[in-house]
Amino acid sequence: MQFPSFPSTLLLALALHSGVNAAASSDDKAKTPEPCTVASSTGAFYDLRPLSVLPLEPGKKVAKGEKINDWHARGYDYHDNKANFTLNICAPLIEKKEDFEGVNKKLWQNVSAQYTFGSKIYSIGQESSNLTLRGRRLVLQYTNGSPCGGSDKKRSTWDDDEEDGKKPTATRRKSTIISFHCDKDPLATQAVATFVGTDPDECSYSFEVLSRAACITAEPAKQSVGPGAVFGIIAIIAILVYFLGGIVYQRNVAHARGWRQLPNYSMWAGIGSFIKDIFIIATSSCARFMPSRRGYSALNINGGSNGRGRNGRNEDENRLIDQLDEEWDD
């Protein structure tokens, strides 16, 4: 019996890694989708995050075509066209948010849709990023806005009662429903928000948004690590399997001891000897370029034409050694 070679071990590690990835992928599908995205049971995927207007980071330059303001929709026949709407998608309003009618001050920063009528500002929903597919319609709903009842509604609300320590009284509140539609026009550059209408109690407001972001897209692959990290993990697993498995085999089956427990010991030993020989050759080549000691260059190693041979060389060597000893003594 022979221990499998390194390539075979690598293939085994790849197969194991693929099985782990497949199991992880099935677990990812069961997880909650990212905010402002939704996937249908048939595989259709919608991502409305490009419609979210986020605050501009300090020092960052505005990119060409980047939207930095909230979305606006004209009220038209609503209150004789004197009430215009401002909304954001899956994010709070960017514009200044304050003094909303009947809304707790703590919630002002979370308002995602509002309209102004006269000197009063009405919230028509708090931030939400939970997209819903109703049939073939993509819908986003905001709730918990200002109290219902039109522009004459007083400020006493559930939240104010809570602050005063009184028993809260349930109050119907304004809400918003936004329906998104796919814009297939290739020349369209930005989304268009349109006010559709409201109910007689002025509690529920409907909008439509036409945008290319509302078209079906492919769900992006979820990968927690990059390709380089994945390859590194596979390589480490393969090396560990190769060496640990080989040591177990060589020790228990081949009864090897010491360094011979390593798998393919003869191959690794040959590589070590080759590296050692290369190192010796390299150091020997470098030693020739080093300056020699004073006095040795005058020696006649081969005897030269003086014919003294070995005896002459010995005399020269003895004379040089005596000379060096005298210099060191001084």
Top-level CATH class of 45-214? mainly beta
Banded model confidence at residue 248, pLDDT cuts 50, 70, 90:
confident
Banded model confidence at residue 181, pLDDT cuts 50, 70, 90:
very high
Banded model confidence at residue 26, pLDDT cuts 50, 70, 90:
very low
Q: Side chain identity at 288, as an amino acid letter?
A: R
Look at 29 and 217; give whichever has higher pLDDT: 217
- Please identify which residue in the block is written with the tokens 């006095």: 295
Element (H, E) at 28: helix 6-29
Look at 230 and 223; give whichever has higher pLDDT: 230
DSSP 263-315: TTHHHHHHHHHHHHHHHHHHHHHHHTTSPPPTTGGG--TT-GGGT-HHHHHHH
Q: Where in the chain are the domains?
A: 45-214
pLDDT at residue 222 in the model: 57
* Averaged confidence pLDDT in the chain: 77
CB atoms under 10 Å from CB of 144, counted, come to 20
**In percent, how much of the chain has pLDDT > 70?**
70
> Quick check: 179 pLDDT over 90?
yes
> Quick check: 170 pLDDT over 60?
yes
pLDDT at residue 23 in the model: 46
- Please identify which residue in the block is written with the tokens 């011979």: 260
Look at 198 and 321; give whichever has higher pLDDT: 198
> Quick check: 314 pLDDT over 80?
no
Banded model confidence at residue 315, pLDDT cuts 50, 70, 90:
confident
Look at 186 and 155; give whichever has higher pLDDT: 186
> Quick check: 3 pLDDT over 70?
no
> Quick check: 129 pLDDT over 70?
yes
CB atoms under 10 Å from CB of 2, counted, come to 9
Look at 297 and 141; give whichever has higher pLDDT: 141
pLDDT at residue 76 in the model: 79
What is the arithmetic mean of pLDDT over 249-258? Answer: 80
Q: Return the CA Rg of the chain.
A: 41
Question: CA 212: distance to chain centroid?
Answer: 25
For residue 103 the two structure tokens come to 């809304």
For residues 121 and 98, what is the distance between their CA atoms, to the nearest angstrom?
A: 8
pLDDT in tens, 41-94: 888 899 999 999 998 888 788 788 788 899 999 887 787 777 889 999 999 999
For residues 147 and 202, what is the distance between their CA atoms, to the nearest angstrom?
A: 9
- Per the confidence metrics, is the pTM higher than 0.75? no
Largest separation between any pair of C-alpha atoms in the chain: 130
For residues 6 and 307, what is the distance between their CA atoms, to the nearest angstrom?
A: 63
Residues 320, 322, 324, 330: what is their CA dihedral angle, to the nearest 10 degrees?
-150
Question: Among 39-43, 196-200, 205-209, 312-316, where is mean pLDDT lowest?
Answer: 312-316
pLDDT at residue 249 in the model: 81
Q: What's the DSSP call for residue 323?
A: H
Look at 19 and 146; give whichever has higher pLDDT: 146
